[in-house]
A and B are shown apart, each in its own frame.
Chain A
Amino acid sequence: MKYLFYPGCSLHSTSSAYLDSLHAIEGKLGFELSEVEDWNCCGANEYIALHRIPSYALIARNLALAEEQQNGAQTLVAACSACYVNLARTAKYMGTDKELNARVNDALGAGGMHYTAGSVEVRHILDLMCNKLGACKIKKMVERPLSGLRVAPYYGCMVLRPDPDNRWRDPESPTALEELILATGADLVDFPLRTHCCSGHMPQITTETSLDLIRRLVEGAVKSGADLLITTCPLCQLNIDGYQAQMNKFFGTSYSMPIIFFTQLIGLAFGLSPKAVGIGKEIVSAAPALARIGVKEEAAPVTSRRPPKDTGLPMPRMPKAYGDEL
């Protein structure tokens, strides 16, 4: 299946592991993701805090680009939660609010663009995997079952909520990541805080508040006995992974809870090497947890730094051990 793909800024920088692992598994899943050309940032939840119409216009430029570039693919797939919710909300509101639609298209017109409401369907990659492909199909593709690895799912907020297109049966108690974890053969850990907030952009604003939210999640995951967390959101990954050291210092704790993207876990179950799915880019290393079930990077064969040339002069050789050739 062909899909238009909107990676978003995070996947090009702070969450490159997400992009790498997604590209590593897309072929096997039967997806063909072609990146929307010249996409711009969706503004996350910063631009919309300052301007209303410009923020919708900023997002709608991407929808207009997707409409122009759709080549048999009507679905625009986003991987980042904030990008997904921004694109989905704008597409929805432009369909339901005629005045907004007119204003946004007026603004787009200044750049020679137009978006016809309803021409692009916005979906998240998790929604596509679970609701379109199905976890049982993914289970059949697994080549290396991750049995023994205790994995806790962590959704974050915006993939499930506000759910403008009713993609999920119950946004408060979802089962999508759970199904995927079971499909990979890993052990599912019950993690009640799986839909709670990671504090979003709060580390830059009120650090104490955000560190407390991060502590709740990390402590919850440790107490539920998980080896690692999997997530769908670049910002959740960054907050829980990057701020864990500061959180430990602030609360005097010594937790170590690695968090990776769900696509990385699926890639590992597909038999890909940890490096191919971007393991190693996380700050709290997932390697010890993966080594426990025998998934590790194969050591590169030891080669001498400068192989001897056949044409060169014979070099004097040292006897292997004292007395060998003497």
Chain B
Amino acid sequence: MDHTPRRLFALIKAGEMEEVLQSNTPWYCVSCYFCMIRCPQEIHITDLMYGLKTLAYQRGYTHNNKATHLSTTFAGYIERYGRAFELGIAARHYLRHPPKDLLGTGRMGTAMILKGRLKFLPERIKGTTQLNKILTRAKELETAL
């Protein structure tokens, strides 16, 4: 994390958007919402972090960022099948960014498969075409902003 959240918000106030969008701070937010319920000013900090992530992603600031890659892989499966596919997401993500503890991760994956907790094939919803029409239109609306 290169800036603390306070500093990040101070940078936004100062108009240093370049620095803000390059920052990796929003990508460390796991959206636990603790800050949001504690903030005396009732600022929707978690939502702001999501906003910064989308801005950074859409303006191309997040090259070679593990968190963006995880999100894009996840989103790819949703757009294709309508549902998340854990085995596929994990496999793709780990091929791109191999885990440090390869043996441990392998063991965990094997255990998950043996316990019947990972499906080998993705579930596909009936309305994938409909879903994609909705998402395409929504993306048009977003870029029009």
Contacts and interface: CB of A to CB of B under 8 A. Distances in A.
Which among B97, B104, B136 has the highest number of chain A CB atoms within 10 Å? B104
A50 B71 contact: yes
Nearest to B101: A246
Interface in B29-81: 30-34, 36-37, 44, 46, 50-51, 53-54, 57-58, 66-68, 70-72, 74-75, 78
A209 B27 CA distance: 13
Interface stretch (A12-20, A124-132, A294-302): A12-20
Interface residues of B, number: 64
A199 B30 contact: yes
A113 B67 CA distance: 32
A243 B105 CA distance: 8
A85 B93 CA distance: 25
A291 interface: no
Interface in A78-112: 85, 103-104, 106-112
Q: How large is the interface on A (under 10, 10 to 19, 20 to 34, 35 or more residues)?
A: 35 or more
Which among B85, B107, B115 has the highest number of chain A CB atoms within 10 Å? B115
A61 B34 contact: no
B12 interface: no
Given A40-B82, A46-B70, A61 B54 contact: no
Main secondary structure, interface of B, reads helix
B120 to A, nearest CB: 10
Interface stretch (A142-150, A155-163, A219-227, A262-270): A155-163
A112 B130 contact: yes
A291 B3 CA distance: 49
Contacts, number: 195
A47 B71 CA distance: 6
A107 B141 contact: yes
A47 B97 CA distance: 20
B133 interface: yes
A171 B37 contact: yes
Interface in B72-121: 72, 74-75, 78, 82-86, 90, 93, 97, 99-101, 104-105, 107-108, 111-112, 115-119
Given A106-B137, A107-B138, A44 B74 contact: yes
A111 B130 contact: yes
Contacts of A61: 127, 131, 134
7 contacts: A43-B78, A47-B71, A49-B53, A51-B58, A205-B27, A242-B111, A242-B112
Given A13-B86, A53-B142, A205-B67, 11 more contacts: A14-B118, A16-B117, A38-B126, A40-B78, A49-B53, A54-B142, A110-B133, A111-B127, A111-B133, A163-B37, A207-B101
Closest CB pairs A-B (n = 9): A161-B33, A110-B137, A200-B30, A107-B138, A46-B74, A54-B138, A197-B32, A111-B130, A57-B138
Interface of A: 9-10, 12-16, 38-41, 43-54, 56-58, 61, 85, 103-104, 106-113, 157-158, 161-163, 171-172, 196-197, 199-202, 204-207, 209, 242-243, 245-246, 249-250, 280-283
